[in-house]
Amino acid sequence: MSESVETKKLTKGVRATVKKNVPKTAVEILMNEKPLDPVYETEGQVCGQTKILFVASEARPFIATGGLADVIGSLPQALAKNPAYDIRVVLPLYSDIKPDQRRKLSFMGNIYTPLAWRNQYCGVFTCVENGVTYYFIDNEYYFKRPGCYGYYDDGERFAFFSRSVMEILPFVGFYPDVLHCHDWQAALAAIYLKTVYNNKPEYQKIKALFTIHNIEYQGKYSLDLLEELFGIPSEYGYYLEYNGCLNLMKGAIEVSERFSTVSPTYAQEIKTAQYAHGLDPIIRRNEQKLTGILNGIDVDSYNCETDKALFANYSTDDFSGKAICKSELQKMLGLPEKDVPIIAMITRLVSHKGLELVKAGIENVLHEDLQFVLLGTGDAAYESFFKDLAMRYEGKVSANIAFNGDLSRKIYSGADIFLMPSISEPCGLSQMIASRYATVPVVRETGGLYDSIKPYGAGGNGFTFASCNPYDMLYVIHEAIDLYKNKSAWIELMKKALNTDFSWSCSASEYAKLYEETLA
């Protein structure tokens, strides 16, 4: 299987023996407490380190379809800077992982994963990047397909993945202190840990933390699949059963010692029927286990001073490069090169991104002297709406129906205003990325948008509106356009956006506290 990957046989879980200074706890090192005496490594691990295993279905730079990949690509690396942690990540080995990433992987060997009556090949590949050890679960029957999700047997694919996570622990020689599972695709890893594996001494010590990145996608399956597909004995059915289905997200919330979501405001919102997609009674019943921690972003990658994808670089001291980014973007998209505000949206074209508000309101602002740039793919109806808009407002609207990382950076840097009117937004990363390029966010006050962007009128870093109503959105867009005409005030606001700290430093210490609570 996966012949394209270099097969270099490694000895199980072995790394060079090192001598490290390891502090008592992760939180103490963050508080600059003096480290304890040196501790020696045993069998590939440093004594005293807290061992965390992230289980997720995507992570940059290997494979990405959305914000989850950004978080799993940057949070483990931010945590790994702290010597009190041994951070590892396990992912499926999709065939869509590009050859330049595949080349980094070494083959460790294979085992067979039991899944109900099945017994499936499970290859294990590994690599180390920026202090994080990655493991990849290989099975071509499940993962040699284009894309990551959307197959009739996704339940079986991610059950195999989650069950394999349990099975590889003795094989790779790593039993984590905390199994940190993300979203429904990894929910079964926590569920298996606390059910099928709960009679094994090495597994009994492992605590589970489950993070919800979006409560809309819960992993719902018919009740009869519990034993036949997932291989979970019926006595544990009550963990997963909910409203006449098996609900994997519900099961993970029930069994995990703690669960979290990606902003403090979303943690409050999902206790309500308006946001919880039916899970609010479960969230409320478990609310003493719930924490909301705002995501950070990789501020080294999203850096207007160094980003090579930009037409020119710039900084708070000198925005002349941003003017070049803007005029080159206009040229590239066939818009007239002139000094009018560019409003940009980079988004999946789905309704919870607030596109009904945009549909209802955008033509109102298009009567002003400005330009509107969209980048995204999604529901066909929205794609046609924006294509049609671009045709009717030629020279004013540019609709780019695509998913393109390079173009997204050119738009983030070349635009002036970034519009994100989401109906719900667990965290949202685009408003933070736009800010890193001094493009001022206009957001609806929900979830992580509320936690990261504060209104200009109150001395904040952007523009915000509260109700899901196109008139309120238009009101703040007009405020932004008016302020844009006041050059010195606008430059001050650009600086404020750019200087907002969206790095992981603060949130990584909140995760450190959460791991301690999970272990307590």
For residue 66, the minimal CB distance to ligand GLC (Å) is: 5
Q: Pick from 421, 430, 416, 436: which is nearest to 368 by CA?
A: 416
- 207-244 as b/e: b if 16+ CB within 10 A: bbbbbbbbbbebbbbeeebbeebbbbeeebeebbebee
262 forms part of the interface with ligand GLC (CB under 6 A): yes
For residue 447, the minimal CB distance to ligand GLC (Å) is: 7
427 forms part of the interface with ligand GLC (CB under 6 A): yes
For residue 384, the minimal CB distance to ligand GLC (Å) is: 24
Considering the complex, state which of residue 49 and residue 261 has its C-beta at the smaller distance from ligand GLC. 261
User: Which of 44, 61, 66, 131 is in the footprint of ligand GLC by CB under 6 A?
Assistant: 66
Nearest residue to ligand GLC, using CB? Answer: 67
- Under DSSP, the state recorded for 113 is E
Query: What percentage of the chain's residues is helix, strand, coil (to nearest 5)?
Result: 40, 20, 40
Secondary structure of residue 486 in the 3-state scheme: coil
Secondary structure of residue 65 in the 3-state scheme: coil
For residue 266, the minimal CB distance to ligand GLC (Å) is: 8
Distance set, CA 134 to CA 106, 122, 383 (Å): 10, 15, 37
For residue 49, the minimal CB distance to ligand GLC (Å) is: 26
For residue 428, the minimal CB distance to ligand GLC (Å) is: 5
Is 502:519 a contact under the CB 8 Å cutoff?
no
Considering the complex, state which of residue 325 and residue 443 has its C-beta at the smaller distance from ligand GLC. 443
Name 312's bridge partners.
none
For residue 519, the minimal CB distance to ligand GLC (Å) is: 23
Name 19's bridge partners.
40
185 forms part of the interface with ligand GLC (CB under 6 A): no
Residues 214-253 that bind ligand GLC (CB under 6 A): 214
441 forms part of the interface with ligand GLC (CB under 6 A): no
For residue 72, the minimal CB distance to ligand GLC (Å) is: 9
User: Which of 414, 426, 441, 462 is in the footprint of ligand GLC by CB under 6 A?
Assistant: 426
Considering the complex, state which of residue 60 and residue 104 has its C-beta at the smaller distance from ligand GLC. 60
67 forms part of the interface with ligand GLC (CB under 6 A): yes
User: Which of 108, 178, 188, 429 is in the footprint of ligand GLC by CB under 6 A?
Assistant: 429
Burial classification of residue 315, based on how many CB atoms lie within 10 Å of its CB (0-12 exposed, 13-18 middle, 19 or more buried): middle
Is 342:415 a contact under the CB 8 Å cutoff?
yes
Ramachandran class of 40: left when φ > 0, alpha when ψ lies in -120 to 50, beta otherwise: beta
278 Cβ contact partners less than 8 Å away, ≥ 6 residues apart:
218, 243
For residue 411, the minimal CB distance to ligand GLC (Å) is: 18
44 forms part of the interface with ligand GLC (CB under 6 A): no
345 forms part of the interface with ligand GLC (CB under 6 A): no
Ordered DSSP codes for 202-260? HHHT-EEEEEES-TT---EE-TTHHHHTT---GGGHHHHEETTEEEHHHHHHHHSSEEE
Beta-carbon count within 10 A of 266 CB: 27
For residue 448, the minimal CB distance to ligand GLC (Å) is: 6
Considering the complex, state which of residue 210 and residue 230 has its C-beta at the smaller distance from ligand GLC. 210
Q: Choose the binding region for ligand GLC from 4-12, 66-74, 184-192, 330-338 (rule: CB under 6 A).
A: 66-74
User: Which of 53, 68, 75, 189 is in the footprint of ligand GLC by CB under 6 A?
Assistant: 68
User: Which of 22, 46, 63, 71 is in the footprint of ligand GLC by CB under 6 A?
Assistant: 71
Residues 272-301 that bind ligand GLC (CB under 6 A): 295
Cα of 360 vs its chain's centroid, Å? 29
For residue 30, the minimal CB distance to ligand GLC (Å) is: 22
The residue count for binding ligand GLC (CB under 6 A) is 14
Considering the complex, state which of residue 341 and residue 421 has its C-beta at the smaller distance from ligand GLC. 421
Q: Pick from 311, 343, 315: which is nearest to 328 by CA?
A: 311
Considering the complex, state which of residue 5 and residue 71 has its C-beta at the smaller distance from ligand GLC. 71
428 forms part of the interface with ligand GLC (CB under 6 A): yes
435 forms part of the interface with ligand GLC (CB under 6 A): no
For residue 73, the minimal CB distance to ligand GLC (Å) is: 11
- Under DSSP, the state recorded for 315 is B
- 488-513 as b/e: b if 16+ CB within 10 A: eebeebbbbbbebebbbeebbbbbbe
Site of interaction with ligand GLC (CB under 6 A)? 66-68, 71, 213-214, 262, 295, 425-429, 448
